[in-house]
A and B are shown apart, each in its own frame.
Chain A
Amino acid sequence: MNQILTSKWTKVVVFPLCLAPLGWLVWRGLHDDLTADPIAFITHTTGDWTLRFVVITLAITPLRKILRLPQLIRFRRMFGLFAFFYAFLHFSTWIGLDKFFAWSEMWKDVEKRRFITVGFTGFVLLIPLAITSTAGWIRRLGGKRWQMLHRLIYVTAVLGVIHYYWLVKSDVRKPLVYAFLVGMLLAWRLGVWLIGRRGQPVSGSVRPPAATAESA
């Protein structure tokens, strides 16, 4: 398995697969098949895929540990950037197609509508993560600080779920599925942190020195 994961071809396959949801939208657009309300459909689809990629990104570390597949780390940045990519499309659809660049109206929405406020915040928090996703930035910030910064994804994940939960009318099953997944993935981290803390009560260093950017 690790051999497949380390092959350079795996990324070549995974990357277009991550683009497939966008390709699917474009395909349906070209075939006049974006439902009666295409703007709403694109907004919902890109929003859905943002949450999916956030969940996938958050699942990498637990899966590495549980399945003993450390090489999975190679894909985390790509999945994280795809989360940002779909969030960006989601946000742009709202700005450009839905609100047609009516900035003042949009800003009022951000201030006034709590589901938009949390969604907007979640997106803004992803921006520094996307910018500092390069190896250069990890070096510049130092592994520990970089890791602290990138824990913002936990906040985005929670805000994203709340955003979804608050916007649906009555059928909350899908938002609850995301809430469950994000909850499990964060609970796993909390568990690891608590165990780690109990393991070394007085040593002074909070984390073992081996902790690098790769183990967030």
Chain B
Amino acid sequence: MVVKKQPDLTYKDVTPKAFYMGRRNFLLGLLVTLGAVEAWKKLPAVLAGAGTGSVPVKLSGYTKWPGSTTEQETPIEKVTTYNNFYEFGTDKGDPSQNAKNFVTTPWTVSVEGECAKPRKYSMDDIMKLAPLEERIYRHRCVEGWSIVVPWIGYSLSAILKLAEPGPKAKYVAFESYYDPKQMPLARSSGIQLPYVEGLRLDEAMNPLTLLCVGMYGETLPNQDGAPVRLVIPWKYGFKSIKSLVRIRFVKDMPDTTWNLYASNEYGFYSNVNPNVDHPRWSQATERRLGPGLGLFTRRIPTLMFNGYADQVASMYAGMDLRKNY
């Protein structure tokens, strides 16, 4: 075997002086470039006049709901920086940046449709309509991650009962606030807006279905659906509509946004079900977002109805959940 002897270093190999002397400038240039990129990313928020939007305030006088899970809560920083709220951008980090200027006062929720007492409720009305409870729920996203959140609110049934739904009311349709001026990124989300959702009347009346006005002891941050949203813990997260403005009792199964977008992937029911896969990925396991970096967090098994089978399974007795996904 021939071993080639490497020639010793010659003058040719010496680092040119300019390059050697320039390494600090190079590093400085790199820093300036990175800084400029960051500044550029923040530009839209600055142009829109940062700091004009609604911010969370402390809530008091709520009681602790006895049914809360004792699992470890997801830190608030994660729940407020990792959001699917396509009106404010489709990246998980977008809503926390772009919803800063979202103004949620004044706010009204209209209850209408097949009922005896339709009415428009102000946010003040909603806050006083029933005693507030803190309920710690598991929240499972259709994408395969989950969080544990202390929500604040009361059962949706409280407001629904006041409306006295009529015999024709079989379903309840929900609609999110939509204002392209406040939501400049909404048009490129790819989904039809305003965001609409729906439940069967019995699902909407189930005590677990939460009309939610706060989390972690405060009112809802904009990116998490301020000022009022639904939380339906046994269904995939996209069913839990944010920034709610309309509740309508209807006769027929209402349109729902993700079902309109891809009906083979997102059904009307969308109950959490480890045995029925999304066409593109398995729903058998989930990644729980907890405290810490979470780089080496193992996936955990997903539970039927997200662990709320005792409270909700009876509503689906006799139904083929593969067909009614």
Please report A residues at the B interface, Cβ cutoff 8 Å: 9, 13, 29, 32, 34-40, 42, 97-100, 105, 108-109, 113-115, 166-167, 169-173
Contacts and interface: CB of A to CB of B under 8 A. Distances in A.
A108 B295 CA distance: 24
Contacts of B261: 170
Residue picked from A36, A42, A173, most chain B C-beta under 10 Å: A36
A171 B189 CA distance: 5
Given A36-B78, A100-B298, A172 B293 contact: no
A170 B289 contact: no
Given A35-B81, A37-B92, A172 B190 contact: yes
A38 B19 contact: no
CB-based closest 3 A-B pairs:
A170-B190, A36-B82, A36-B78
10 contacts: A9-B16, A36-B81, A38-B293, A38-B295, A39-B294, A105-B282, A108-B282, A109-B282, A169-B190, A170-B90
Given A9-B19, A100-B299, A35 B92 contact: yes
Nearest to A41: B92
Given A166-B280, A170-B261, A38 B294 contact: yes
Interface of B: 15-16, 19, 26, 74, 77-79, 81-82, 86, 90, 92-93, 143, 145, 147, 188-191, 261, 280-282, 287, 289, 293-299
A13 B27 CA distance: 11
Residue picked from A29, A32, A105, A170, most chain B C-beta under 10 Å: A170
Contacts of A167: 280
Contacts of B16: 9
A122 to B, nearest CB: 17
B37 to A, nearest CB: 11
A123 to B, nearest CB: 18
Contacts of B19: 9
A98 B15 CA distance: 44
A97 B92 contact: no
Contact of B92 (A36, A98, A109): A36
A106 to B, nearest CB: 11
